[in-house]
Chains A and B, each alone.
Chain A
């Protein structure tokens, strides 16, 4: 044993390493065992079955026959083999601590390699087992596989599709996009509203005013200790049902009408030349951004302040207004008018959307309020005292000193809440708001029975949304983070 190296040998010395053949043999054994068990279990003991399936990936890819190219079992085989090969190669580059004292279990590199191969083998076999069973069961039940169903007409109606012109003859693929649009609509409006309300309540919770802080406390504890689904039911089945009937809606003045069948907002009618208004709005927003940069640069250089808020407000509101007047008032609103059979005209927002949005916003706001409170409390008290000593008023101290520092603590958990809200919007399936889960993973799945494809698409969509929100918030977090020397 004394002639064996006690520490890791340099990579060049690996050629005569006695463990080298052991590792290769073990990797080959793993691959062979995997192929053999796959062939025996799922190709009727045809030993070339898996290899042919792998070959079909390439022929399928080159000939454009996607059906054969996307054979999941073949892909698992390829990925499994790739995993083993990559891990084996990486073992050869392993330079870490190795204490080889006669048997390979005492070598941490070898031991890790062994356990990882074991995990890969179990996982690969599990996937084979699952996919093989699924293929057999689907074939036995006579359910088609593949994504061809996305082109078939759906044949059912969706009562709310603000972005896409959806008809009953539209395809299942269109249904997916309608659902995605509705999910995004409720998620984005929910995130904006919940952030606003959450910040208000979080700050109210820290107010010196006893009534206000107690009220905020009660709100938070009531909201977050009752399940969201129950809130959705309460808002949708109980509170919104108390609204007046179709014939005599609640008149909200310039905002439209509200009754049991939903909210009727004024519908904007874009006349000729109205395109200049959104352009003016865009110009206003861009101008406001540049104005903010210029103002802060000037303040840094000269110490002079500029009323950025009012100027930006003027730009964002004023420019479109001027454009509107200059273009000869091309934008008119069609107000909904009450009638015996329900309001006519206007843009209808269904009660499902209202119930879901209110429930999501009030529920998530309670969590955001707690995050905001914790963030503000995390800022040293000396910061508040110093800003008061400098003569800042309470509001200024919050806006200029406390909140910017609290943001660093607030942003990461806030990201989680945004993701939660987006995922929780799937509870709409309980009240049939036509979002992704309800309309695609619900109705379409029931009609086509292609559970695997549909659920896979749904889950991948949510995963993509999660990753996008995380990336954006990471970027925002990096922007807000403390720059230290």
Chain B
């Protein structure tokens, strides 16, 4: 018994066998592919279908844009085949990059006079130089930077792009009292300042607070306005450039940036109005927001280009670009209001109660406690609405402004580059530029979202 048992267990391993390496089909690239791509029959089919989709889309796209593309040439001959009067072989199909090169300046500056390109370049440079440090959270001087972007940059841009030297002829008193002149402007401005000071004084006395700081603030604001107005009126010797000749990326950026900058304060006011306890103001905000959100942007642009001139007194005309800007600003203000409201509602109630317990007034509470936190929370939302607005600026081409896409679209009418691949090349280029802008902005928005998302873990 013992022997048989002993013979049965004749071999007993005394030491552990070293672990063998995993089979080659389970590790490395092969193992990963087996696990992720070919784990079952349906999965394999899906993988093959996906690879087929990539196969039919990517190579033709690369061929069109790079391998078959023409990179140099002077006119349409470079991008047409012999039958169409060009140099390319029969059946050639590729992008015509020299056409984009020839029109590149138009795509960036529109029909802005070539001798004045430096003005646009300075604006582009200031925009990048002011925006990039503002977007990087770790850099200091955010306050000064924001002041530059929201105050100095718009004024300088206005003067540079239009040439400044606007004529100030007054705005308040009827013509019967005083003839339009620069003196009348000063008189009018003085009257307006006096009116504002008087209202401020009454309110300050009414609330039994010290009128001095209130009046000082009003005088400060009106003085700032006066300086801006005078700056715009100074003749810097810049040639006047009509907005009709603006175009390309310039118009796209002007509309998008003005839209977002103007819509931010309006949107904040509307968001506060919607959360207000005053029924009339709340009702007004709700109607305003829901009206603009309920109609398509294109009808807004139609309205601003067709109806706005009707709403103004006879003789007062607005520039076409300015009309579009007004429409876009009101439209995006409604969307901005909803973004800001999201931030305001996300704050816990304790913040309001704490602020009120400290004895802060409504505006003090909003200015010092609520809005700084709420606006920080909605930075990703603001960037997202900027992306939406940036894409929506393309719509202005329908009312006859030449934004980036409109400029590309209008270049097709030039017969010197007419070819069957012209429109595809143009759209490919436009898509590339829009994609680069929007994709990088959406990455930034995700980055900020991650950075701000500190409260939950």
Find out whether the CB atom of A426 lies under 8 angstroms from the CB atom of B296.
yes
Q: When A103-B206, A133-B310 are in contact, do A212 and B284 touch as well, CB less than 8 Å?
A: no
- Interface residue B294 (Cβ < 8 Å from any Cβ of A): yes
Find out whether the CB atom of B46 lies under 8 angstroms from the CB atom of A463.
no
Q: Enumerate A372-416 residues with CB–CB distance to B below 8 Å.
A: none
- Interface residue A227 (Cβ < 8 Å from any Cβ of B): yes
Among A83, A208, A225, contact of B36 (Cβ-Cβ < 8 Å)? A208
Q: When A225-B442, A226-B435 are in contact, do A455 and B302 touch as well, CB less than 8 Å?
A: yes
Find out whether the CB atom of A238 lies under 8 angstroms from the CB atom of B409.
no
Which residues of the other chain, B, contact A102 by a CB distance below 8 angstroms?
208
Find out whether the CB atom of A238 lies under 8 angstroms from the CB atom of B46.
no
- Interface residue A234 (Cβ < 8 Å from any Cβ of B): yes
Which residues of the other chain, B, contact A210 by a CB distance below 8 angstroms?
36-37
- Interface residue B405 (Cβ < 8 Å from any Cβ of A): yes
Q: Give the distance in Å from the alpha carbon of A108 to the alpha carbon of B228 in the complex.
A: 37
Which residues of the other chain, A, contact B306 by a CB distance below 8 angstroms?
445, 451, 455
Find out whether the CB atom of B278 lies under 8 angstroms from the CB atom of A462.
no
Q: Enumerate B287-314 residues with CB–CB distance to A below 8 Å.
A: 291, 293-299, 302-303, 306-307, 309-314
Q: Enumerate A174-226 residues with CB–CB distance to B below 8 Å.
A: 207-212, 215, 221-222, 224-226
Tell me the minimal C-beta distance from A221 to chain B in angstroms.
6
**Total contacting residues, chain A, CB less than 8 A:** 62
Which residues of the other chain, B, contact A354 by a CB distance below 8 angstroms?
none
Q: Give the distance in Å from the alpha carbon of A290 to the alpha carbon of B166 in the complex.
A: 73
Q: Give the distance in Å from the alpha carbon of A365 to the alpha carbon of B392 in the complex.
A: 18
Find out whether the CB atom of B207 lies under 8 angstroms from the CB atom of A103.
yes
Interface string of B31-55 (1 = CB under 8 A from A): 0000011010001001100110110
Interface string of A17-28 (1 = CB under 8 A from B): 000000000000
Chain B residue nearest to A129 (CB atoms) is: B311
Q: When A237-B423, A437-B298 are in contact, do A221 and B439 touch as well, CB less than 8 Å?
A: yes
Which residues of the other chain, B, contact A83 by a CB distance below 8 angstroms?
280
Q: For the complex, would chain A's binding face be called helix, strand, loop or mixed by DSSP majority?
A: helix
Chain A residue nearest to B300 (CB atoms) is: A459
Find out whether the CB atom of A426 lies under 8 angstroms from the CB atom of B207.
no
Find out whether the CB atom of B307 lies under 8 angstroms from the CB atom of A211.
no
- Interface residue B398 (Cβ < 8 Å from any Cβ of A): yes
Which residues of the other chain, A, contact B227 by a CB distance below 8 angstroms?
none
Q: Give the distance in Å from the alpha carbon of A69 to the alpha carbon of B218 in the complex.
A: 45
Which residues of the other chain, A, contact B207 by a CB distance below 8 angstroms?
103, 105-106
Tell me the minimal C-beta distance from A352 to chain B in angstroms.
15
Among A134, A226, A437, contact of B296 (Cβ-Cβ < 8 Å)? A437
Among A116, A419, A459, contact of B281 (Cβ-Cβ < 8 Å)? A116
Find out whether the CB atom of A134 lies under 8 angstroms from the CB atom of B277.
no
Find out whether the CB atom of B438 lies under 8 angstroms from the CB atom of A424.
no
Q: Tell which of B77-85, B104-112, B371-379, B426-434 binds the partner.
A: B426-434
Among A136, A455, A467, contact of B294 (Cβ-Cβ < 8 Å)? A467
Tell me the minimal C-beta distance from B60 to chain A in angstroms.
12
Chain A residue nearest to B50 (CB atoms) is: A211
- Interface residue A167 (Cβ < 8 Å from any Cβ of B): no
- Interface residue A349 (Cβ < 8 Å from any Cβ of B): no
Which residues on B are within 8 Å of A, measured CB to CB? Answer: 36-37, 39, 43, 46-47, 50-51, 53-54, 203, 206-208, 277-281, 284, 291, 293-299, 302-303, 306-307, 309-314, 387, 391-392, 394-395, 397-398, 405, 409, 423-424, 427, 430-431, 434-435, 438-439, 442
